[in-house]
C-alpha cells in the first residue's frame, strides 16, 4: 500500500432532530458538508444518531408500559432500512463531500418481522457506496427493551484509502475480546460511537488507543434538554435543573493515548484532528497486542462470523433414482407368519413338564 499523507478527521457532536428520521438525515447531510469544508476526509457520528438515542429506557419505569410502547412504535416508524432510501441519501452526501462516513442508526430488521431494531453503524466510502454495517453485539441494560443483539458476521476491519478502519459501539468497548478481534484484524483507525461520556469513559478511550496503538475517534451525542420535544412525556422525569441530558465529550486520541482534539463538553460542534499514518506502524515497535507481543501458543481466540438469520429455507431433497436393472434390486423382505392361538384351547392350563431324575452330563 502506498504511503498515506496526513489527513484530517471530523467527529460530529450534535443532537438529532429527535425521533424525526428524515429531518435528522437532512441535518446529518449538512454536517457532513460542514466537516468536509474543514478539510475532513473521514467523518464519524455518534451511535443511534438517526433518529435518536432512546434515553427514555433509563428514566421511564417499566410499569409505564403504554408510554414505552408508544415511544418504541415511534422509533420503529422512524427506523432505517439498510439498504434503503435513507442510506442512499447519506451515501449521496458522502459522495458530494468526498468523505468516508461512519454514522449510527436505528436499523429496522427488514429481513424478518420489520418491527425489531438494531443499534447499527453504517460505513460509506468517498464514492457514497454503503460497503459495510456493524450491529451492536449486545445492548446494555435498559437498551435491551429497544434493541436486539447483533452477531459476529458484522464484526470486521475494513481496508480503506485512509487506512484500516473499524467501528465499535458504546460498551462493546469494554469487551476485551471485541477489542482484540479488531487489533488482530489490523485496525488503525478505531471509531468508538457512543452515548457514554465523562472521565471514566475518556480514560477507556485513551487506554484503547494505547493498547491497540490505534487512533480512536470517540463520537458522542451532545443532547440538550431543549433537543427533546415537550410532547414526549418521559422528558418530565429529568430533574428540572438538568440542562444537558448528555454533555458529549467527543475527542480524538493518538496511538500513544494522548488527547489530540477535544473533549468537547456540553456544546454542539465538530471536533477536528489530524491523523499521521506514520504512527500506524511506528507506534507498535515496542508493543503490538496482536503481533510480536501476542502469545498464540498460550492464548487462542475463536470468532464466529456466521450470520444467524431469523428464517432459513431447508434445501430441497430430490428422491434417489431407482436402479434400472432388475437384478440390482434388493429382494423384498419375506412375509413372516405369527402363530395364532387355538381358540378351542383357550383357557386350558398348560400341562406340567415331568421332572427329570438324576444328573445329566
Q: Please identify every residue annotated as catalytic.
A: 47, 136, 170
β partners of residue 11: 44, 271
Nearest to 39 by CA among 65, 66, 63, 6: 6
The cell for 133 is 454495517
DSSP state of 56: G
Long-range contacts of 69-74 (CB under 8 A, 24+ apart): 71/232, 71/234, 72/145, 72/146, 74/19
Residues pairing with 13 in the sheet? 269
In the Cβ-directed half-sphere of 228, how many Cα atoms lie within 13 Å? 22
CA–CA distance, 41 with 178 (Å, rounded to integer): 26
Burial 75-96 (b: 16+ CB within 10 A, else e): bbebbbebeeebbebbbebbbe
Give SS3 for 351: coil
Sign of CA dihedral 124, 121, 159, 36: positive
Is 125 in contact with 131 (CB distance < 8 Å)?
yes
The CA distances from residue 148 to 60, 116, 143, 341, in Å, are: 19, 7, 9, 66
Q: With contact defined as beta carbons under 8 Å apart, do 256 and 209 qualify?
A: yes
Amino acid at each position: 500500500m502506498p504511503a498515506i499523507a496526513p489527513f484530517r478527521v471530523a467527529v460530529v457532536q450534535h443532537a438529532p432532530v429527535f425521533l424525526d428520521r428524515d429531518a435528522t438525515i437532512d441535518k446529518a447531510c449538512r454536517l457532513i458538508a460542514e466537516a468536509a469544508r474543514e478539510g475532513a476526509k473521514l467523518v464519524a457520528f455518534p451511535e443511534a444518531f438517526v433518529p435518536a438515542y432512546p434515553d427514555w429506557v433509563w428514566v421511564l419505569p417499566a410499569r409505564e408500559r403504554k408510554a414505552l410502547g408508544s415511544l418504541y412504535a415511534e422509533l420503529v416508524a422512524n427506523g432505517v432500512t439498510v439498504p434503503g432510501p435513507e442510506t442512499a441519501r447519506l451515501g449521496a452526501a458522502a459522495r458530494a463531500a468526498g468523505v468516508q462516513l461512519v454514522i449510527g442508526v436505528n436499523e429496522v430488521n427488514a429481513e424478518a418481522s420489520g418491527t425489531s431494531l438494531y443499534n447499527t453503524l453504517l460505513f460509506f466510502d468517498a464514492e457514497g457506496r454503503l460497503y459495510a454495517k456493524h450491529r451492536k453485539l449486545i445492548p446494555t441494560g435498559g437498551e435491551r427493551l429497544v434493541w436486539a443483539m447483533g452477531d459476529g458476521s458484522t464484526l470486521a476491519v475494513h481496508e480503506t484509502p485512509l487506512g484500516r478502519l473499524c467501528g465499535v459501539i458504546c460498551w462493546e468497548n469494554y469487551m476485551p475480546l471485541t477489542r482484540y478481534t479488531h487489533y488482530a484484524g489490523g485496525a488503525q483507525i478505531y471509531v468508538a460511537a457512543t452515548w457514554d461520556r465523562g472521565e471514566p469513559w475518556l480514560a477507556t478511550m485513551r487506554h484503547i488507543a494505547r493498547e491497540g496503538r490505534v487512533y480512536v475517534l470517540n463520537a458522542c451525542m451532545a443532547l440538550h434538554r431543549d433537543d427533546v420535544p415537550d410532547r414526549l412525556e418521559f422528558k418530565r422525569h429529568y430533574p428540572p435543573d438538568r440542562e444537558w441530558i448528555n454533555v458529549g465529550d467527543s475527542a480524538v486520541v493518538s496511538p500513544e493515548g494522548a488527547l489530540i482534539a477535544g473533549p468537547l463538553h456540553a456544546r454542539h460542534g465538530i471536533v477536528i484532528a489530524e491523523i499521521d499514518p506514520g504512527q500506524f506502524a511506528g507506534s507498535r515497535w515496542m508493543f503490538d497486542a496482536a503481533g510480536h507481543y501476542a502469545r498464540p501458543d498460550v492464548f487462542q481466540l475463536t470468532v464466529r462470523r456466521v450470520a444467524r438469520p431469523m428464517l432459513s429455507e431447508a434445501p430441497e431433497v430430490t428422491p434417489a433414482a431407482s436402479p434400472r436393472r432388475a437384478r440390482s434390486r434388493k429382494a423384498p423382505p419375506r412375509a413372516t407368519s405369527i402363530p395364532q392361538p387355538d381358540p378351542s384351547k383357550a383357557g386350558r392350563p398348560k400341562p406340567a413338564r415331568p421332572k427329570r431324575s438324576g444328573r445329566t452330563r
